[in-house]
Amino acid sequence: MNASRRLTRRQFVSSGAVVVGASFLPASTSKGAVDQDPAVDAIATKGESKKRERVPWKVEPFPLNQVRLLDGPFKHSMDINHQWVLSLPTDRLLHTFRINAGLPSSAQPLGGWEKPDCELRGHLAGGHYLSACALAYAATGDEAMKAKGDEMVAELAQCQEKLSNGYLSAFPDEFFDRLRDGKPVWAPFYTIHKIMAGHLDMYAYCGNEQALDTAQKMAGWVGHWCEGLSDAHMQRVLTVEHGGMLESLYNLYALSGRGMYPFIGNRFTHREVFDPLADHRDELKGLHANTNIPKMIGAARRYELTGNERDRDIAQYFWDEVTSERCYSTGGTSNGEHWNTDPGKLASELGKETEECCCGYNMLKLTRHIFGWTADPRAMDYYERTLWNSRLGTQDEQGHKSYFLPLGSGFWKSYNSQWDSFWCCTGTGIEEFAKFADNIYFHDDDGIFVNLFIASEVNWPEKGVRLRQETSFPEQDRTTLTVSAPKPVELAVNIRVPYWATKGGTVKTNGEALPVFSNPSSYLALKRTWKDGDRVEVSLPMSLHLDSMPDDRSLQTVMYGPLVLAGKFGGEGLTPELTYPGYGPVPKGGPATVPDITNHSMDPLAWVEPAPNSPLTFQTARQLAAATLIPLYKLSGERYAVYWKVKSDRPRRFES
Ligand SMILES: [Zn+2]
């Protein structure tokens, strides 16, 4: 069975895509073999990397620097993240790198996973941090962010120079002796990947040539290290978490054109994980989730740069399997960082450590590739679900990020402390929150795809058109698009109709209702010659719906549109220690008791109803203990419930 045609089982799904009155997704673009490098889009203006792509994307994202967020929850969260990133002093970030290179540093060391004796030190300071600066610069144009990144790149290059063999890290290369010899060591290549990726982002988004040079020297060191190892030995090395080494080495090839990097990258082909996926066998049970998602992004990049269909099949099958069988209603995946169960068995997985935020970050990254290849609206259904529920609400108002997003009832959100955490999820978080503008809009040759209902503006200079999206979604279930174009332009505006829009919707152009709409999980294509000031108003009525556990239908999440609702159970006893646990990401303390729900009606939704006069607020109905529900992304500082145990006292004979 072709994985790309396989339908997912859960609510990400709606297979039909009947569009009235206009053309649906074009079969392909007419661009031929040369395509924009989607992973490093900003640099595509330099031209060279485009030539190396072997597989054109069906639809392409707009470069991040052509999209600007407008006021709304995403811009608010991005701005907070921006300030947090700028607040970290360069000398403190550089301290362990300088010490490791034998350069003087009197800075106060950072704590947490950047502590001088932590084996993961440097992952955020010299890696995620550069990516965050680069993405934030692209997304906002803030020169202070570019200056911060440029300064880090220059200082890290001095450390690399002092080490003299291309190696760059905040820990000694003796860690790699331990890795080679099978002795305990945390994850040295994981950290090297972050540092390489940070430098590639500084080149791609900020044009920093020194960053590309540093990354190439690092890759040279990596190639030399791998050279002495047999294939079987390398496969043993790959059982230790190594992040996106495969992806970064292929990205380096795309950017530099040097043919040695794919060969080095191929040493990071972890066959034990890839082979079953190529045979469409889900053997993910027992694996560490976030170790393996980046490998799939690597397969995706190798497919794009070589045309190797097996890699596409691996990435696509993995994506299908995880999104359909291993994701919660939030779109997140993993429990205790692992996939512990057979496919579709998730009822046992709800706890304090469900789900790791890095997994959401990496699944969204992979989804970007899947959508680019297929323009499949289901990919954007998944993207929207995960973005709103698993990513947006995982930062506090000071910019601190969550590690786990607990889905066990009665737990609460916790965050990194300012100086004593620096977790993996802090790192992926500062990247994610810098690039919320990404993927809202894609395009092909003929038109634009409005994927997400987020207030923003996209500029498409090649077509001489800007599109401004004004919306207070989800407070209001509509959005307005306004065209700016000095000259009339013929264009398809493809508006995503999400899987949850089961009540239909309406679309108006310049105030006039059109007699068309589209099915859930499809794109409504409006093809016409657009003039300056033309307006499109889309209304997408949201409604309550349930998402049940695949292996226990009595465990139910209430959703409203794309939003997972959480029951509020108060902040009593949540001390600062429980909210900011510090080095280890799992706070002490147990859950509050959350009462079961009893449904007295034939209507499965009878136990929840809108709260009067309060948008996006709901309440349980006809229960002994009442509870209020709000969107999970808005909830912080109190205990909550996402999955409810719902018992029915209906006569059994009426059950379907
Ligand atoms: Zn993490």
Residue 188: cis peptide before it, omega within 30 degrees of 0: no
Residue 510 predicted with pLDDT over 90: yes
Distance 550 CA to ligand 1 centre (A): 26
Residue 629 sits at φ, ψ, to 5 deg, of -120, 135
Phi-psi bin for 521: left (phi > 0), alpha (psi -120 to 50), beta?
A: left
The answer to whether 171 and 100 are in contact (CB under 8 A) is: yes
Q: How far is the CA of 629 from the centre of ligand 1 (A)?
A: 27
Q: How far is the CA of 107 from the centre of ligand 1 (A)?
A: 27
Distance 427 CA to ligand 1 centre (A): 8
Question: What pLDDT was estimated at residue 634?
Answer: 98
pLDDT for the residue numbered 37: 36
The tokens for 38 are: 């989607």
**What are phi and psi for residue 35, nearest 5 degrees?**
-145, 165
pLDDT class for 16, splitting at 50, 70, 90? very low
pLDDT above 90: residue 431: yes
Q: 274 in helix, strand or coil?
A: helix
**Ligand 1 mean position, distance from CA 357 (Å):** 6
289 CA to middle of ligand 1, Å?
Answer: 10
262-269: average pLDDT: 98
Residue 6 has pLDDT above 60, yes or no: no
Q: How far is the CA of 507 from the centre of ligand 1 (A)?
A: 41
Amino acid at residue number 615: P
**pLDDT at residue number 652:** 58
CA-CA distance, 346 to 172, in Å (whole number)?
Answer: 41
Question: Cα(12) to centroid of ligand 1, in Å?
Answer: 24
Report the distance separating Cα 85 and Cα 418, nearest Å. Answer: 11
What separation in Å is there between the alpha carbon of 291 and the centre of ligand 1?
10
The pLDDT of 247-264, averaged and rounded, is 96
Distance 593 CA to ligand 1 centre (A): 28
pLDDT for res 33? 28
CA of 86 to the centre of ligand 1 (A): 21
Residues 129-161 have pLDDT tens digits of: 999 999 999 999 999 999 999 999 999 999 999
Q: Are 170 and 156 in contact (CB under 8 A)?
A: no
| Mean pLDDT calculated for residue range 515-533 | 95
| Rounded distance from Cα 594 to ligand 1 centre (Å) | 28
Handedness of CA 274, 279, 281, 282 (dihedral sign): positive
Tokens of residue 595, six digits: 């009462």
Question: Looking at residues 576-595, what average pLDDT do you find?
Answer: 94
Asked if 650 and 599 count as a contact pair (C-beta separation under 8 A), the reply is yes
pLDDT of residue 524: 96
- What spatial distance separates the first Cα and last Cα of the chain, rounded to whole Å? 31
Q: Report the percent of the chain where pLDDT is more than 90.
A: 89
The pLDDT value given to residue 12 = 27
| Gap from CA of 424 to ligand 1 centroid (Å) | 4
Residue-wise pLDDT for 86-105, tens only, equals 999 999 999 999 999 999 99
Q: Ligand 1: distance of its center to the CA of 431 in Å?
A: 12
pLDDT at 367 over 80: yes
* 407: CB partners within 8 A, 6+ apart: 328, 330, 332, 350, 351, 354, 355, 642, 643
Residue 49: per-residue pLDDT: 72
Q: How far is the CA of 405 from the centre of ligand 1 (A)?
A: 11
Give the angle subtended at the CA of 231 by the CAs of 225 and 233, to the nearest 5°. 70
* Predicted pLDDT at 15: 28
CA 117 to chain centre: 30
287 alpha carbon – ligand 1 mean position (Å): 15
Give mean pLDDT, residues 331-358.
Answer: 98
- Check pLDDT > 60 for residue 264: yes
Q: How far is the CA of 232 from the centre of ligand 1 (A)?
A: 29
| Structure confidence at residue 512 (pLDDT) | 96
Going from the Cα of 429 to the center of ligand 1, the distance in angstroms, rounded, reads: 9
CA of residue 437 to ligand 1 center, whole Å: 22
**Is 21 a residue whose pLDDT tops 60?**
no
CA of 361 to the centre of ligand 1 (A): 9
Determine the average pLDDT of the residues in 382-398. Answer: 98
Cα-based torsion angle of the residue sequence 374, 379, 384, 389 in order, rounded to the nearest 10 degrees: -150
- What is the pLDDT of the chain when averaged over all its residues? 92
pLDDT digits (tens, 9 = 90+) for 463-479: 999 999 999 999 999 99
Q: For 67-83, what is the mean pLDDT?
A: 98
SS3 143: helix
Task: Return the minimum-mean-pLDDT range out of 41-50, 221-230, 538-547, 570-579.
Answer: 41-50
pLDDT at 516: 85
Calculate how far, in angstroms, residue 334's C-alpha sits from the geometric centre of ligand 1.
Answer: 11
CA Rg, the chain, in Å?
A: 24
Confidence band of 529 (pLDDT split at 50, 70, 90):
very high
Ligand 1 centroid from CA 358, angstroms:
4
Report which residue type is found at 313: D
> Residue 253 in contact with residue 261, Cβ under 8 Å?
yes
Mean pLDDT of 508-529: 95
Gap from CA of 384 to ligand 1 centroid (Å): 20
Distance between Cα 403 and ligand 1 center (Å): 6
Q: CB of 42 within 8 A of CB of 546?
A: no
Would the pLDDT of 10 be above 70? no
Is pTM beyond 0.75? Reply is yes
**The predicted structure's pLDDT at residue 259:** 94
Band the pLDDT of 625: cuts 50, 70, 90: confident
Question: Measured between alpha carbons, how far is 646 from 618 in angstroms, rounded to an integer?
Answer: 17
pLDDT score for 649: 82
The predicted structure's pLDDT at residue 653: 54
Range of lowest pLDDT (410-414, 448-452, 588-592): 588-592
Distance 548 CA to ligand 1 centre (A): 26
Distance 272 CA to ligand 1 centre (A): 23
Mean pLDDT calculated for residue range 13-29: 27
* DSSP H or E segment with residue 317: helix 309-325
Residue, of 420 and 228, whose pLDDT is higher: 420
Q: What pLDDT was estimated at residue 624?
A: 86
Q: Residue 385: is its pLDDT beyond 80?
A: yes
CA of 355 to the centre of ligand 1 (A): 10
User: Which tens digit of pLDDT belongs to each residue from 274-313?
Assistant: 999 999 999 999 999 999 999 999 999 999 999 999 999 9
Cα(545) to centroid(ligand 1), Å: 30
Q: Report residue 651's pLDDT band, with 50, 70 and 90 as the boundaries.
A: low
**What is the 639 CA–ligand 1 centroid distance (Å)?**
22
Q: Identify the residue with better confidence: 34 or 206.
A: 206
The pLDDT value recorded for residue 597 is: 95
Structure-token pair, residue 483: 């065209």
Question: What is the amino acid identity at position 108?
Answer: Q
Examine the pLDDT at 629 and tell me if it is beyond 80. yes
CA of 189 to the centre of ligand 1 (A): 16
What DSSP assignment string belongs to 329-347?
A: TTS-B-BTTB--SSTT--G
Q: Which of 645, 8, 643, 644 is nearest to 344 (CA)?
A: 8
CA quadruple 339, 355, 78, 373: dihedral sign: positive
Q: How far is the CA of 402 from the centre of ligand 1 (A)?
A: 9
Distance from the CA of 616 to the center of ligand 1, in angstroms?
30
Q: How far is the CA of 248 from the centre of ligand 1 (A)?
A: 19
How far apart are alpha carbons 15 and 623 in whole angstroms? 37
CA 29 to ligand 1 centroid distance, Å: 37
How remote is the CA of residue 212 from the centroid of ligand 1, in Å?
Answer: 26
406-443 CB burial, b ≥16 within 10 A, e <16: bbbbbbbbbbbbbebbbbbbbbbbbbbbbbbbbbbbbb
Q: How far is CA 169 from CA 16, 144, 163, 566, in A?
A: 50, 25, 10, 42
Give percent of the chain with pLDDT exceeding 70: 92
- CA gap 30, 635 in Å, rounded: 46
For residue 433, the CA-to-ligand 1 centroid distance in Å is 14
Residue 41: pLDDT over 90: no
